[in-house]
């Protein structure tokens, strides 16, 4: 099987502190009075995994576990402090859906802009546009300013653009939980189609049912470290038990599915 | 490089479209306004200063206009470009695209403004009885330099603006100072030779002077003059590229 995405020993050190949104004046003052602090935070520690054609990886973990940071490194928005990421295919990422759209532009203009951001060609967008609008069920809203759409409609559009175009690597961050029930079903069906067409998908979700129902393998992150990697059912059960307060589940998961012992990245 | 251009060509044109739509808010007047506003400034300047300088100088309106044209393009472009990174933070923190695209697309709209005003300058020149020669073609040289200089300055400023959010005010002060140092409405003939040379340390003045030499005096400046003009543009571009490369993956921590 062809390896589509290989993440090797990736560590990401995040910079944070109250240095945002300050002016030169404030910056100088703080330096003079030694009050300028930049903190570093290890958001992801030595995480490795490899995905093959048709794989769908679910990433679970509590808030602040490093899920989004890891995804940002996979898409290339962030560079890992150490470790490497090999991508063999085009990435289409949906991180925080509605962001990156422009409220003042129309739905159509936004669709084209987003398509361009995802790296599609103009020709492709001209052909796919009708399909996108139909799938998003926004035919009557084409010329409306984007800000007039409900948040559900906004994410429907975002999902349609990213998924209708057969990316080789699709990254979804808390995407499926938006839209109404009918659209969720439709998008899940669409995703199954993409997975079957050989693409690799990474899904971040707080809904365990969703992960269990869709993913072929699971990565459990806890405070930036990979606790477990592999078997969907086993890990999800332990994670659920961990969430309901059973701290030992973490240790058990690490013992049974810890990255050191895993053999699943070899594929079957 | 070529492959990159092809890859991002569509995104670039979409960004330009977006910046245009937002700038002019889909109004015809919006577009007209951007040409009217430099003309109004010109009118005010002419009303105020023509009594002081106009009597002793031929084609004073054109003299004013060239200064105003170049300087307005510089301030327009740098002020727009300063926001290029901060305004697009929601895009580049989510999608991996080359960040200079935002800056270049902002530059396109100010360049078009500049082009339209330049046409007006030629119309004014014709009306004012300036003789047109083939030498006008050499104006492409300072225009190219100016575009590069503005892009470079825009890169530097937009990066600084990410780190220091009071850059706008500081830059406002700097452009004020530059305006007074660019001899837009006065002549520098009254100064000593040394001071006159000192004026050339101001890139904006240098480009303005190129325009005036060609249009008003009908002469092409010396080779040294050309070299200096190119040097300013290249230094600005090099510094800008350096800043963007160095902080490419740092910006997202600050927005």
Q: Best residue in A109, A117, A125, A167 to probe B by mutation, most B CBs within 10 Å?
A: A117
Burial B236-246 (b: 16+ CB within 10 A, else e): bbeebeebbee
Counting every residue written for chain A, the total comes to: 268
Q: At which residue do the structure tokens 């092409």 appear?
A: B220
Q: Is residue A113 part of a domain?
A: no
Residue A264: pLDDT band by 50, 70, 90 thresholds?
Answer: very low
Residues A19-34 pLDDT 10s: 777 888 888 888 888 8
Q: Is the pLDDT of residue A157 over 90?
A: no
Q: How many domains does chain A have?
A: 1
**Tens digit of pLDDT at every position of chain B (255 positions):** 677 777 788 989 999 988 888 887 767 777 788 788 888 988 998 888 888 776 778 889 999 999 999 999 999 999 999 999 998 888 888 888 889 999 999 999 899 889 999 999 999 999 999 989 999 999 999 999 999 999 999 999 999 999 988 888 999 999 999 999 999 888 888 899 999 999 999 999 999 999 999 999 999 999 999 999 999 999 999 999 999 999 988 888 888
Contact of B253 with chain A, judged by CB distance below 8 Å, is answered with yes
Rounded Cα distance, A182 and A200, in Å: 24
Could B91 and A119 be called an inter-chain contact, meaning their C-beta atoms sit closer than 8 Å?
Answer: no
Q: Cα distance from B166 to chain A (closest Cα, Å)?
A: 5
Q: Cα distance from A112 to chain B (closest Cα, Å)?
A: 7
Contact of B166 with chain A, judged by CB distance below 8 Å, is answered with yes
Rounded Cα distance, A214 and A232, in Å: 9
Residue A261: pLDDT band by 50, 70, 90 thresholds?
Answer: very low
Q: Is residue A85 part of a domain?
A: yes
Torsion of CA B183, B77, B35, B24, to 10 degrees: -160
How many other C-beta atoms are found inside a 10 Å radius of the C-beta of residue B172?
12
Edge to edge, the sheet with strand A3-16 lists A82-87, A3-16, A39-52, A225-230, A217-222, A56-60, A200-204, A169-173, A91-94
The strand pair at A3-16 and A39-52 is best described as: antiparallel
Rounded Cα distance, A10 and B19, in Å: 37
Could A100 and B170 be called an inter-chain contact, meaning their C-beta atoms sit closer than 8 Å?
Answer: no
Residue A263: pLDDT band by 50, 70, 90 thresholds?
Answer: very low
Q: Which residues of A touch B13 (CB under 8 A)?
A: 116, 122
Specify the range with the lowest mean pLDDT, choosing from A4-13, A133-142, A152-161, B177-186: A152-161
Q: Best residue in B11, B97, B252 to probe A by mutation, most A CBs within 10 Å?
A: B11
Residues A53-77 pLDDT 10s: 888 899 988 888 888 889 889 988 8
Contact criterion met (CB below 8 Å) for B200 and B228: yes
Could B91 and A117 be called an inter-chain contact, meaning their C-beta atoms sit closer than 8 Å?
Answer: yes
Q: Which residues of B touch A121 (CB under 8 A)?
A: 10
Q: Is residue A244 part of a domain?
A: yes
Inter-chain Cβ pairs, chain A and chain B, closer than 8 A: 79
Contact of B167 with chain A, judged by CB distance below 8 Å, is answered with yes
Contact of B246 with chain A, judged by CB distance below 8 Å, is answered with no
Which CATH number is A39's domain given?
Answer: 3.40.50.300
Could B94 and A99 be called an inter-chain contact, meaning their C-beta atoms sit closer than 8 Å?
Answer: yes
Rounded Cα distance, A5 and B141, in Å: 48
Q: Which residues of A touch B163 (CB under 8 A)?
A: 27
Residue of B nearest to A120 (CA): B10
Rounded Cα distance, A218 and A203, in Å: 9
Query: In the prediction, which pLDDT does A98 show?
Result: 59
Q: At which residue do the structure tokens 């850059």 appear?
A: B167
Collect all residues with Cβ–Cβ distance below 8 Å to A149 and sequence separation of at least 6. Answer: A107, A138, A141, A157
DSSP string covering B165-223 = TTHHHHHHHHHHHHHHHTTSSS-STTS-HHHHHHHTTSHHHHHHHHHHIIIII--PPPH
Q: What letter would DSSP give residue A49? A: E
> Is the reported ipTM for this assembly greater than 0.90?
no
Taking alpha carbons only, the member of B90, B160, B252 closest to residue A12 is B252
Taking alpha carbons only, the member of B232, B176, B218 closest to residue B62 is B218
Could B17 and A109 be called an inter-chain contact, meaning their C-beta atoms sit closer than 8 Å?
Answer: yes
Contact of B174 with chain A, judged by CB distance below 8 Å, is answered with no
Counting every residue written for chain B, the total comes to: 255
Query: In the prediction, which pLDDT does A99 show?
Result: 66
Could B22 and A119 be called an inter-chain contact, meaning their C-beta atoms sit closer than 8 Å?
Answer: no
Q: Is residue A189 part of a domain?
A: yes
Q: Tell me if residue A175 falls in helix, strand or coil.
A: coil
Torsion of CA B132, B137, B143, B144, to 10 degrees: 180
Q: Tell me if residue B113 falls in helix, strand or coil.
A: helix
Distance of CA B160 to the CA centre of its chain: 19
Q: What letter would DSSP give residue B250? A: T
Rounded Cα distance, B255 and B238, in Å: 24
Residue A162, both tokens: 């990213």
Rounded Cα distance, A135 and A105, in Å: 20
Could B7 and A119 be called an inter-chain contact, meaning their C-beta atoms sit closer than 8 Å?
Answer: yes
Q: Which residues of A touch B164 (CB under 8 A)?
A: 22-24, 27
- Could you list the residue range(s) of the whole structural domain that residue A11 is in? 3-89+168-266
Residue of A nearest to B168 (CA): A23
**Ordered alpha helix ranges (H), A107-247:** 107-117, 122-136, 151-163, 181-196, 208-214, 232-243
Residues B215-241 pLDDT 10s: 999 999 999 999 999 999 999 999 999
Rounded Cα distance, A85 and A13, in Å: 15
Query: In the prediction, which pLDDT does A265 show?
Result: 42
Where exactly are the structural domains of chain B? 2-253
Residues A81-113 pLDDT 10s: 999 999 888 777 766 655 678 888 899 999 998
Q: Which residues of A touch B15 (CB under 8 A)?
A: 113, 116
């Amino acid at each position: 099987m062809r390896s589509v995405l290989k993440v090797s020993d990736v560590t990401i050190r995040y910079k944070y502190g109250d240095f945002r949104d300050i002016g030169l004046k404030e910056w100088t003052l703080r330096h003079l009075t030694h009050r300028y602090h930049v903190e570093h935070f290890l958001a992801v520690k030595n995480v490795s995994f490899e995905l093959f054609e048709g794989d769908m990886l679910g990433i679970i973990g509590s808030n602040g576990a490093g899920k989004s940071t890891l995804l940002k490194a996979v898409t290339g928005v962030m560079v890992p402090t150490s470790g490497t990421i090999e991508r063999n295919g085009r990435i289409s990422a949906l991180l925080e859906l509605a962001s990156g759209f422009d409220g003042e532009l129309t739905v159509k203009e936004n669709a084209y802009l987003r398509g361009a951001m995802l790296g599609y060609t103009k020709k492709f967008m001209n052909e796919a546009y009708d399909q996108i609008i139909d799938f998003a069920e926004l035919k009557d809203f084409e010329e409306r300013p984007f800000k007039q759409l409900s948040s559900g409609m906004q994410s429907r559009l975002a999902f349609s653009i990213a998924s209708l175009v057969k990316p080789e690597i699709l990254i979804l961050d808390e995407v499926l939980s938006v839209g109404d029930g009918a659209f969720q079903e439709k998008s899940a069906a669409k995703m199954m189609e993409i997975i079957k067409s050989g693409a690799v998908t990474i899904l971040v979700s707080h809904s365990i049912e969703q992960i269990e129902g869709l993913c072929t393998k699971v990565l459990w992150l806890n405070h930036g470290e990979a606790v477990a990697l592999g078997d969907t059912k086993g890990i999800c059960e332990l994670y659920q038990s961990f969430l309901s307060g059973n701290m030992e589940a973490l240790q058990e998961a690490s013992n049974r599915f810890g990255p050191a012992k895993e053999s699943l990245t070899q594929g079957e | 490089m070529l492959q990159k251009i092809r890859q991002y060509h569509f995104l670039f044109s979409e960004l330009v479209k977006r910046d245009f739509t937002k700038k002019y808010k889909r109004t015809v007047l919006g577009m007209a306004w951007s040409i009217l506003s430099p003309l109004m400034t010109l009118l005010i300047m002419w009303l105020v200063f023509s009594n002081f300088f106009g009597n002793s100088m031929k084609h004073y309106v054109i003299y004013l206009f060239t200064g105003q044209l170049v300087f307005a393009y510089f301030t327009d472009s740098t002020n727009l470009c300063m926001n290029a990174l901060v305004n697009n933070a929601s895009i580049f923190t989510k999608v991996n695209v080359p960040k200079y695209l935002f800056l270049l697309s902002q530059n396109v709209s100010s360049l078009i403004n500049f082009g339209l005003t330049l046409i007006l300058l030629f119309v004014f020149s014709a009306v004012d009885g300036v003789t047109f020669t083939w030498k006008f073609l050499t104006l492409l040289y300072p225009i190219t330099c100016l575009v590069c200089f503005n892009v470079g300055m825009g890169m530097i400023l937009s990066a600084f603006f990410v780190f220091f959010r009071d850059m706008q005010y500081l830059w406002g002060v700097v452009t004020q100072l530059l305006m007074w140092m660019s001899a837009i409405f006065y002549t520098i003939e009254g100064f000593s030779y040394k001071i006159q040379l000192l004026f050339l340390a101001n890139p904006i003045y240098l480009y303005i002077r190129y325009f005036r030499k060609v249009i008003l005096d009908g002469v092409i400046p010396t080779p040294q003059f050309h070299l200096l003009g190119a040097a300013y543009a290249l230094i600005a571009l090099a510094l800008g590229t350096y800043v963007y490369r160095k902080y490419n993956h740092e910006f997202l921590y600050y927005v």
